[in-house]
A and B are shown apart, each in its own frame.
Chain A
Amino acid sequence: MLLSYLKIAWKVLLRRKFFTFISLFGISFTLMVLLVVVALFDHAVGPHAPETRLDRMLFVNFLHIKYKNGGNQNSPPSYYLLNRYVRQLRTPAKVAIHSLFHATPSYVGNTRLDLDLKYTDDAFWQVLDFTFAEGKPFGEAEVKSAARVAVINRTTARKYFGTDQGVVGRTIEINQTAFRVLGVVEDVPVMRISSYADVWVPLTTSPNDLNRVTLTGEFAAIILAKSPADKAAVQAEFDQMVKRIPLPDPKEMDHLDLHADEILASYSRQLMSPLTNYTSDGLNMLYSILGGLALLFMLLPALNLVNINVSRIMERSSEIGVRKAFGATSRTLIGQFLVENVFLTALGGLLGLLMAYVALQLIGGAQILAYAQFELNWRIFGWALLVTLFFGVLSGGYPAFKMSRLLPVQALKGVRN
């Protein structure tokens, strides 16, 4: 019976090619966009190297100072603040401090090479899991002595030295300062803001005065908890610590907000601050907005599908009448139309998957985002397909239910009620 249903579903699809195209395009295009967005999302906040231990990581990268006159100041925290307070926490396994990355000029012959440079401490290499193609990271001694050493990524090695092998020990000149290459790591995508750079050097080589007593700066910290379950304890200690940070200008300043957040929360706290007014990380709000947008986005092809299915099923009332006359129950008929619909949605889903794969290859290949490597997330594809199937079942179920309730004689006469 299933084969017969599929056979007729295929025939119906072929019979109304334009409507089939519209339906399939709606489903597959929606799925493609969703999958691409999810792949980008996963690329930015999923547990990928070198941030593989995301379940144990907390990020401190956003400082908000509230002024008594109602004003707000948003900034990354200073090295002083992170080193003086965050590094002293007792519950974490490790605390790494790093600067934001900056495009820094370098020259290969006469060709200018803009390299993204990041200043880090030695804990940075222990908290994050970089893959070393060769060499090793710098350690405590190099950081303490402000040694002019660097870790570079594979692409920089290729661009600067013309090879990514045997470059350890060679010198790379960045912003007119020579650094000895200690190690070469695999490229890190630019969307992994905390770990990304082309060149990493000890933070003590920074031209800025790290010990300047100020709250705002251009640094961030990555805290590694002893276990995923331990993150809550780290956050509790962190929040207590923040209360002890003195305000440099208590007459003008009301309070400061500094949080140790999971990766997505660390972004949403900044992104959603105009809506949350700095009272929360805004993650639930972000999820609601993203979920709502996704739902709206899926609702359009779903409604289109409902519309097409209503006319598609209604115009087959004579067939329904015949099937009823020869023994089909209402339930069987609903089943038949649902199978047809699920067949159509599954087809659209597969096409969507294919289109998403091609789109991600194109985006990756175009290198719009540096070092981007996109992967299709099967779990999300499963969910998206499930939701589309759900809409498919609903959109097919309603008209099928309506038709199945007709008396056979009405269906044979083409009565549509």
Chain B
Amino acid sequence: MENILAQSAVRPQATAATLAATAQPVIQLRDIEKVYQTKTIETVALNRVNLTIHKGEFVSIMGPSGCGKSTLLSIIGLLDEPTSGVIELDGRPVQSYSDKELAALRNQKIGFVFQSYHLINDLSVLDNVELPLLYRSGVGGRERRERAYAALDKVGLSARTNHFPSQLSGGQRQRVAIARALAGNPEIILADEPTGNLDSVMGEEIMDLLLGLNRQEGTTIVMVTHDEQQAHKTQRLIRFFDGSQVQ
């Protein structure tokens, strides 16, 4: 199995302009608003955001804390609902989708990588990585296991399959989280500050992994980050301020 980590030194060369011309839009947001309302305060987290992300793009989103980056990522990933606006995945609006249809979309199209890993501590590394396949119909136990092994191999953790998350370092945990996102072979990976909890060396390692995935597998990646350097390694950088896209 090809190890992405070993082969991700080369930076992807495609630009946003060339992708826009050649690739299909995979995510489209139109006039997305997200307003959090309490009895006394109304907070606008996202203010009429319009965004198109093409197949195979690696987009990073930057901005100060509280500017709405993570909210945007959650809405793209169908983990949250916008107050208004339209989300289209592969050209189809998803607002009217049922819980079951949304779950199927998340399961088949999207893989998540969270800043705090969100691994299930009671499950082994292998069981954690199998998780997306557990909810996919037609995938038997054996196939699940094989695909999970393959995903762990990709992130260089095939020797740790029977370990539990608490036995791993932060970098290893994040690699397990990436393997989990990869196991379902999704078209899109949404990464919310994937290097936020890691030191710079491990952060680089994870970044190289994501870049390798994008370059070799053509996976569309949307990453929220605070790290300017890492953001510049991606094909497109979107800046947010106070819930609005500023660049």
User: Is A318 in contact with chain B by the CB < 8 A criterion?
Assistant: yes
C-alpha gap A331/B77 in the complex (Å): 20
Interface size class of A (residues with CB under 8 A): 20 to 34
Q: Which residues of chain A come closer than 8 Å to B103, judged between CB atoms?
A: 324, 327-329, 332
| Contact call A318/B118, Cβ cutoff below 8 A | yes
| Contact call B99/A326, Cβ cutoff below 8 A | no
Q: Which residues of chain A come closer than 8 Å to B112, judged between CB atoms?
A: 325-326
| Contact call B131/A408, Cβ cutoff below 8 A | no
Q: Which residues of chain A come closer than 8 Å to B131, judged between CB atoms?
A: 322-323, 326
Query: Which listed residue (B80, B122, B134) contacts A12, Cβ 8 A?
Result: B122
Could you tell me the distance in whole angstroms from the C-beta of A13 to the nearest C-beta in chain B? 10
| Contact call A407/B81, Cβ cutoff below 8 A | yes
| Contact call B122/A8, Cβ cutoff below 8 A | yes
| Contact call A7/B127, Cβ cutoff below 8 A | yes
Q: Which residues of chain B come closer than 8 Å to A407, judged between CB atoms?
A: 79-81
User: Is B114 in contact with chain A by the CB < 8 A criterion?
Assistant: yes
Q: Is the interface of A mostly helix, strand, loop or mixed?
A: helix
The interface bits of chain B over 216-244 (1 if a CB of A lies within 8 angstroms of the residue's CB, else 0) are 00000000000000000000000000000
In chain A, positions 327-374 with a C-beta closer than 8 Å to chain B are 327-332
Could you tell me the distance in whole angstroms from the C-beta of A16 to the nearest C-beta in chain B? 11
Q: Which residues of chain A come closer than 8 Å to B111, judged between CB atoms?
A: 326
User: Is A375 in contact with chain B by the CB < 8 A criterion?
Assistant: no
Could you tell me the distance in whole angstroms from the C-beta of B186 to the nearest C-beta in chain A? 10
> Closest B-chain residue to A329, C-beta based?
B103
Interchain Cβ contacts within 8 Å, total number: 75
| Contact call B80/A1, Cβ cutoff below 8 A | no
Q: Which residues of chain A come closer than 8 Å to B130, judged between CB atoms?
A: 4
| Contact call A327/B120, Cβ cutoff below 8 A | no
Q: Which residues of chain A come closer than 8 Å to B80, judged between CB atoms?
A: 407-409
| Contact call B107/A326, Cβ cutoff below 8 A | yes
User: Is A11 in contact with chain B by the CB < 8 A criterion?
Assistant: yes
> Closest A-chain residue to B106, C-beta based?
A327
> Closest B-chain residue to A410, C-beta based?
B80
User: Is B14 in contact with chain A by the CB < 8 A criterion?
Assistant: no
User: Is B171 in contact with chain A by the CB < 8 A criterion?
Assistant: no
Q: Which residues of chain A come closer than 8 Å to B180, judged between CB atoms?
A: 326
The winner among A1, A327, A407 for most chain B CB atoms within 10 A is: A327
User: Is B84 in contact with chain A by the CB < 8 A criterion?
Assistant: no
| Contact call A408/B79, Cβ cutoff below 8 A | yes
Could you tell me the distance in whole angstroms from the C-beta of A180 to the nearest C-beta in chain B? 75
Could you tell me the distance in whole angstroms from the C-beta of A336 to the nearest C-beta in chain B? 10
User: Is A251 in contact with chain B by the CB < 8 A criterion?
Assistant: no
| Contact call A327/B136, Cβ cutoff below 8 A | yes
In chain A, positions 361-417 with a C-beta closer than 8 Å to chain B are 407-409, 412
| Contact call B99/A8, Cβ cutoff below 8 A | no
C-alpha gap A323/B131 in the complex (Å): 7
Q: Which residues of chain A come closer than 8 Å to B99, judged between CB atoms?
A: 329-330
With contacts A8-B120, A321-B118 taken as known, whether A1 is within 8 angstroms of B134 at the C-beta atoms is: yes
| Contact call A409/B135, Cβ cutoff below 8 A | no
| Contact call A319/B135, Cβ cutoff below 8 A | no
In chain A, positions 306-327 with a C-beta closer than 8 Å to chain B are 318-319, 321-327
C-alpha gap A319/B118 in the complex (Å): 7
In chain B, positions 92-138 with a C-beta closer than 8 Å to chain A are 99-100, 103-104, 106-108, 111-112, 114, 118-120, 122-123, 127, 130-132, 134-136
| Contact call B120/A332, Cβ cutoff below 8 A | no
Q: Which residues of chain A come closer than 8 Å to B123, judged between CB atoms?
A: 4, 7-8, 11
The interface bits of chain B over 130-157 (1 if a CB of A lies within 8 angstroms of the residue's CB, else 0) are 1110111000010000000000000000
Q: Which residues of chain B come closer than 8 Å to A327, judged between CB atoms?
A: 103-104, 106-108, 132, 135-136, 184
Could you tell me the distance in whole angstroms from the C-beta of A324 to the nearest C-beta in chain B? 7
With contacts A407-B79, A407-B80, A409-B79 taken as known, whether A322 is within 8 angstroms of B118 at the C-beta atoms is: yes
Q: Which residues of chain B come closer than 8 Å to A4, judged between CB atoms?
A: 123, 127, 130, 134
C-alpha gap A11/B164 in the complex (Å): 12
User: Is B172 in contact with chain A by the CB < 8 A criterion?
Assistant: no
The interface bits of chain B over 60-77 (1 if a CB of A lies within 8 angstroms of the residue's CB, else 0) are 000000000000001001
The interface bits of chain B over 173-193 (1 if a CB of A lies within 8 angstroms of the residue's CB, else 0) are 000000010001000000000
Q: Which residues of chain A come closer than 8 Å to B77, judged between CB atoms?
A: 325
User: Is A15 in contact with chain B by the CB < 8 A criterion?
Assistant: yes
Q: Which residues of chain A come closer than 8 Å to B120, judged between CB atoms?
A: 8, 319, 322
> Closest A-chain residue to B122, C-beta based?
A11
Q: Which residues of chain A come closer than 8 Å to B106, judged between CB atoms?
A: 324-327, 408
Query: Which listed residue (B79, B100, B122, B141) contacts A329, Cβ 8 A?
Result: B100
Given A327-B184, A329-B103, A409-B80, 7 further pairs, Cβ under 8 A: A3-B141, A319-B120, A322-B131, A326-B131, A327-B107, A408-B79, A412-B79
Q: Can you sample 20 A-B contacts with CB below 8 Å? A: A1-B134, A7-B123, A8-B120, A11-B123, A15-B122, A318-B118, A321-B118, A323-B135, A324-B106, A325-B77, A325-B112, A325-B118, A326-B107, A326-B131, A326-B180, A327-B108, A329-B100, A331-B100, A407-B81, A409-B80
* List of 7 A-B pairs having minimum Cβ-Cβ separation, nearest first: A327-B107, A327-B135, A11-B122, A408-B79, A409-B80, A326-B132, A409-B79
